[in-house]
Amino acid sequence: MHTRDSHTNAITLLPVTAGLWLGYVLALLVIDRIFYIRPIFPPWYYLINASDALVVLGMALWPPGRAWLGRAYVPLVIGLLSVVPVLMSQMVLMWLPPSPSGGPEAMLVRTMPLLVMALVLTAWQYGWRMVIFFSGGMAVLTLGLHLFFFRPGGPSLLPPITVVIMQTISFLVVGYFISTLMRMLQQQQAALAQANAQLINYAATQEDLTISRERNRMTRELHDTLAHTLSALSVQLETINAYWEVDPAAAQRMLTTALSVTRAGLQETRRALKSLRASPLDDLGLIQALRQIATETATRANLRLNLQLPERLPPLSAALEQCLYRVTQEATASAGANHLRRRRMAL
């Protein structure tokens, strides 16, 4: 027995099966009433088949009933589709007088559509081994009933045996193809599930790497701005403290310079924090975002900018654009921070 998921479970086919069952019984009733003077089947045949189909349909649309039967639900439906019609056909043979339209082989042919539906459910739900069991079981049941009711001088057993052999071969061939298709579908679903799991794992890894890169970049940004500013400010404050009693005028000038350095460092810190929140690539595009970074860095550091960028770039992936943007951002930030640090040390 094979495990099926919600997409390949035969339970999903049962409403359709019950509908086809009812349609087939109705078609038999119409055909028998139109094309035959004497009805082929008695009224109870149609009534029992229609009742069985309605029971299957009701249980297919009633989840508590399926839950109550559990694993026995699908085998029960398969039995109703196969065993019951075969038994009723044999009872009809006993009820009707011999005729070409009501002989054993004709009855076997008439039950074939219901048996095919049962075969499809068996192959869909249980696979090739159960198809062999089902085909052999139907052959044994049919031939056993004919042998049980056979009377010397009655109809020959050769026609029903021939039909049963052809039926069994047909069931095996059709069941093999259905079970093979279901096995291939299961393999594809398993491969797809594995690919989805790998993709989820890859996405989670990429997210972790992105967060790690952003943390490292934030550390470098703060180191190039806030850390350098605080270091320079600490040196200047120590110098001011040393000069405060010796040369108050020089200490005052140094204090003014320290305040200027503090404001510049505050602006740099705010700029770094703003760049962490902003998304220039989404708003401006790669070229304009690179131009903005270079221009802002040159303005803050009082540098002369000589920037050459193409008007257009070939289509790039989002990951590559992000990489180019971050490299440019760190390079310009380092250049600007180094220049500001040299100026502050010169002061």
Domain span at residue 168? 10-197
In a domain, 146, yes or no: yes
Choosing from 197, 217, 234, the residue where a domain stops is 197
Contact 185, 127 (CB under 8 A): no
Q: Which residue has the tokens 């490292």?
A: 216
Contacts of 104 (CB under 8 A, 6+ apart): 93, 146, 155, 159, 160, 163
215 lies in some domain:
no
Whether the CB-CB separation of 310 and 281 falls below 8 Å is answered with no
Q: Answer yes or no: do 34 and 150 share one domain.
A: yes
Question: Are residues 189 and 291 both part of a single domain?
Answer: no
Last residue of a domain, one of 197, 218, 236: 197
Do 160 and 283 lie in one domain? The reply is: no
- Whether residue 53 sits in one domain with residue 157: yes
Q: Chain-wide mean pLDDT for the chain?
A: 77
pTM for the complete prediction?
0.55
What percentage of the chain has pLDDT greater than the value 90?
Answer: 3
CA atoms of 116 and 130, how far apart (whole Å): 14
Pick the closest to residue 108 from 155, 73, 64 (CA basis): 155
Q: Residue 336 — φ and ψ, nearest 5°? A: -65, -40
Predicted confidence (pLDDT) per residue in 101-110, tens digit: 556 667 777 7
Cβ(336)–Cβ(297) below 8 Å: yes
Which helix H or strand E contains 11, and what residues bound it? none
179 lies in some domain: yes
- Helix ranges restricted to H, the chain: 14-35, 43-60, 63-69, 73-95, 104-126, 128-149, 158-222, 228-243, 248-277, 280-284, 286-301, 318-346
Q: Which two tokens stand for residue 265?
A: 């460092």
Q: How confident is the model at residue 4 (pLDDT cuts 50, 70, 90)?
A: very low
In the predicted structure, residue 300 carries a pLDDT above the cut 80? no
With respect to residue 128, please indicate whether it lies within any of the assigned structural domains. Answer: yes
Q: Which of 200-204, 211-215, 274-278, 340-344 has maximum average pLDDT?
A: 200-204
CA dist., res. 129 & res. 22, Å (int): 29
CA distance 291 to 309: 8
**Domain annotation covers residue 323:** yes
Q: Bigger pLDDT: 13 or 340?
A: 13
Q: Is residue 138 part of a domain?
A: yes
CA 135/CA 119 separation, integer angstroms: 8
Asked if residue 307 is part of any domain, the answer here is: yes
Spell out the residues 6+ positions from residue 33 whose beta carbon is closer than 8 angstroms to its own: 39
Residues 193 and 334 in one domain: no
Burial class (CB in 10 A: 0-12, 13-18, 19+), 291: middle
Residue 100 placed within a domain: yes
Q: Which two tokens stand for residue 162?
A: 């021939």
Query: Of 33-37, 140-144, 251-255, which gets the smallest average pLDDT?
Result: 33-37
Across 141-152, b (16+ Cβ under 10 Å) vs e yields: bbbebbeeeeee
Residue where one domain finishes, among candidates 148, 166, 197: 197
The whole-angstrom separation of Cα 313 and Cα 298 is: 24
User: What's the number of domains the chain is made of?
Assistant: 2
Do 189 and 284 lie in one domain? The reply is no
Structure tokens at 57: 């349909």
Does residue 284 share a domain with residue 186?
Answer: no
Question: Does 191 lie in the same domain as 284?
Answer: no
Structure confidence by residue, pLDDT tens digits, 65-88: 777 888 888 888 888 888 888 888
